């Protein structure tokens, strides 16, 4: 794992430095057109999709473009490590307009507590595409990856598990994901991880290789993600592993995979702070530590317990039987729970039930640990519920003995 970490660190550092060599003039025209699109849509536009009307997060996508444009190609190492951004005393989209016109009120300031690994793709794409065109490409690639992942699930696991995955995606409004770049990051990591593990048995042939895979998934998540839904690649991929191979369907393996994922995630994040200090003389540790404390502990006027209560109230409303959404959620669970009770597969599913239940609990655990961030950015963090839905639906589905269920139905007839 240490060797893998060093290799990934060297690769990630090289990549971010190289893409920051792209001059601002190369992305100028596309950035200007992107600003027009952001101005037209606003920070949080609503989009009608196949699974309902949902809110997009253009605000964070503005930030991503902002960081891309502020980079000084004449000092690529400094730009890659400090990750400058600009904001004046108005909203983010107006700030972007001022940035594009050069009418700056303040100087750009550092935002280097994250890796901002998405710049490895965003900056090169901005040389030939604006935000609208990148959205189209994003949708095409995500659709292709989803198709491959569903095919492999149906082939290696079962058609029923693939259907559970589709339903889970619908329950967290995944149709809106291609429209927001920062929504997409963890979906890419999750889908590609699932494809690699289902498509190539080499990665899961031994426990050591599997642990290395999850260490790498954690590291890649830390590099690319904007602290949106990092638990998603961990939970969904781990559920697929448990369904794929009974050798790993043990509680100790769930714990081990979570530990190595967290090690990869936290080590890669901390390594950004180290590289920023070594290469650019910039120390984001104070900013990062304050942010971590704020998100995990809260403030004296607004402690973490307040956010726990707010999250609980949010879920109580969403799951209330008095609301159409709550009826849909409970009805979906009942549609699988009733057949599982009428025609259970028996004790042989006990170990699988336990591990899937533990994986499902990763989402509420994540919400508990980072309650402030989860509540404040619920339009983003709500997609972490994909882990809960997929695990619970797979648990219920895998407990149905369809031959026994068929015989029950025939007897009643």
Which of 115-129, 192-206, 216-230, 373-387 comes out lowest in average pLDDT?
A: 373-387
Instruction: Give the mean model confidence (pLDDT) for residues 379-402.
Output: 92
- Indicate whether 21 belongs to any domain: yes
Taking a C-beta distance cutoff of 8 angstroms, is the pair 190, 183 a contact? no
More confident residue, 228 or 20: 20
pLDDT at 289 over 80: no
Sign of torsion, CA 342 345 348 349?
negative
The pLDDT > 90 percentage for the chain reads 65
- Indicate whether 409 belongs to any domain: no
Which of 137-141, 300-304, 316-320 comes out lowest in average pLDDT?
A: 300-304
Q: Could you tell me the residue range of the domain that residue 323 belongs to?
A: 2-404
- Indicate whether 22 belongs to any domain: yes
| Per-residue confidence band for 52, with pLDDT thresholds at 50, 70 and 90 | low
User: What is the pLDDT at residue 293?
Assistant: 67
342-352 tens-digit pLDDT? 888 877 678 88
In which element (H, E) is residue 409 found?
A: helix 402-412
- Sequence-distant (6+) residues with CB within 8 A of 212 are 1, 4, 260
- Indicate whether 132 belongs to any domain: yes
User: Would you put residue 173 in left (φ > 0), alpha (ψ -120 to 50) or beta?
Assistant: left
User: What is the pLDDT at residue 167?
Assistant: 96
d(CA 238, CA 230) in angstroms, rounded, equals 13
93-146 tens-digit pLDDT? 888 888 888 888 888 888 888 999 999 999 999 999 999 999 999 999 999 999
Q: Most distant CA pair in the chain: distance in Å?
A: 78
d(CA 67, CA 115) in angstroms, rounded, equals 12
- Indicate whether 233 belongs to any domain: yes
143-175 tens-digit pLDDT? 999 999 999 999 999 999 999 999 999 999 898
71-87 tens-digit pLDDT? 999 999 999 999 999 98
Domain count, the chain: 1
- Indicate whether 410 belongs to any domain: no
Place of tokens 């600003």: 35
Instruction: Give the mean model confidence (pLDDT) for residues 253-257.
Output: 96
| Per-residue confidence band for 413, with pLDDT thresholds at 50, 70 and 90 | low
- Crossing angle of helices 2-19 and 251-280, in 10° steps, is 50
pLDDT at 298 over 70: no
User: What is the pLDDT at residue 107?
Assistant: 84
| Per-residue confidence band for 409, with pLDDT thresholds at 50, 70 and 90 | low
User: What is the pLDDT at residue 147?
Assistant: 97
Mean residue pLDDT across the chain = 90
d(CA 279, CA 88) in angstroms, rounded, equals 28
d(CA 190, CA 195) in angstroms, rounded, equals 9
Instruction: Give the mean model confidence (pLDDT) for residues 292-319.
Output: 78
119, HSE (Cβ side, Cα atoms, 13 Å)? 35
Nearest to 360 by CA among 242, 215, 260, 222: 242
Burial bucket for residue 306 (CB in 10 Å: 0-12, 13-18, 19+): middle
Instruction: Give the mean model confidence (pLDDT) for residues 315-322.
Output: 87
241-250 tens-digit pLDDT? 999 998 898 9
- Indicate whether 411 belongs to any domain: no
User: DSSP 3-state assignment of 8?
Assistant: helix
Which of 189-203, 217-231, 301-315 comes out lowest in average pLDDT?
A: 301-315
Taking a C-beta distance cutoff of 8 angstroms, is the pair 153, 165 a contact? yes
**Phi and psi of 52, rounded to 5°?**
115, 180
User: What is the pLDDT at residue 106?
Assistant: 82
d(CA 149, CA 392) in angstroms, rounded, equals 19
Contacts 24+ apart (CB under 8 A), 212-217: 212/1, 212/4, 212/260, 214/238, 214/257, 214/260, 214/261, 214/264, 215/1, 215/4, 215/5, 215/260, 215/261, 215/263, 215/264, 216/4, 216/8, 216/264, 217/189, 217/193, 217/261, 217/264
Instruction: Give the mean model confidence (pLDDT) for residues 280-303.
Output: 73
User: What is the pLDDT at residue 211?
Assistant: 97
In which element (H, E) is residue 37 found?
A: helix 24-41
Enumerate the H helices of 131-280 as residue ranges: 131-156, 159-171, 181-199, 207-224, 231-244, 251-280
- Indicate whether 413 belongs to any domain: no
């Amino acid at each position: 794992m240490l060797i893998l970490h060093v290799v990934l660190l060297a690769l990630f550092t090289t990549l971010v430095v190289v893409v920051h060599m792209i001059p601002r003039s190369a992305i100028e025209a596309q950035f200007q057109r992107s600003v027009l699109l952001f101005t037209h849509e606003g920070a949080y536009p609503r989009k009608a999709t196949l699974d309902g009307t949902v809110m997009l997060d253009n605000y964070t996508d503005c930030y991503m473009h902002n960081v891309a444009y502020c980079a000084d190609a004449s000092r690529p190492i400094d730009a890659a490590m400090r990750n400058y951004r600009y904001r004046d005393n108005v909203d983010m989209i107006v700030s972007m307009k001022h940035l594009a016109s050069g009418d700056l009120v303040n100087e750009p300031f550092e935002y280097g507590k994250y890796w901002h690994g998405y710049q490895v793709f965003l900056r090169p794409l901005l040389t030939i595409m604006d935000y609208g065109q990148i959205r189209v490409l994003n949708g095409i690639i995500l659709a292709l990856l989803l198709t491959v992942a569903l095919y492999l699930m149906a082939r290696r696991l079962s058609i029923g598990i693939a259907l559970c995955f589709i339903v889970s995606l619908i329950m967290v409004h995944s149709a809106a994901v291609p429209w927001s770049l920062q929504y997409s990051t963890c979906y890419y990591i999750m889908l590609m991880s699932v494809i690699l593990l289902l498509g190539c048995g080499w990665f899961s042939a031994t426990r050591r290789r599997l642990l290395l895979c999850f260490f790498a998934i954690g590291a890649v998540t830390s590099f690319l993600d904007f602290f949106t839904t990092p638990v998603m690649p961990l939970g969904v991929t781990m559920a697929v592993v448990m369904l794929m191979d009974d050798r790993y369907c043990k509680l100790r393996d769930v714990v081990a995979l979570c530990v190595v994922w967290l090690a990869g995630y936290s080590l890669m994040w901390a390594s950004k702070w180290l590289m920023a200090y070594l290469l650019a003389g910039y120390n984001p540790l104070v900013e990062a530590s304050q942010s971590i404390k704020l998100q995990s502990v809260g403030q004296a006027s607004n402690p973490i317990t307040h956010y726990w209560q707010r999250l609980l109230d949010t879920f109580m409303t969403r799951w209330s039987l008095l609301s159409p959404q709550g009826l849909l959620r409970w009805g979906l669970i009942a549609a699988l729970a009733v057949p599982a009770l009428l025609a259970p597969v028996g004790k042989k599913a006990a170990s699988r039930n336990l591990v899937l239940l533990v994986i499902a609990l990763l989402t509420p655990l994540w919400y508990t640990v980072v309650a402030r961030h989860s509540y404040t950015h619920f339009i983003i963090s709500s997609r972490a519920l994909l882990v809960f839905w997929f695990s619970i639906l797979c648990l219920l589905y895998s407990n149905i003995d369809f031959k026994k269920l068929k015989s029950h139905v025939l007897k009643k007839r």
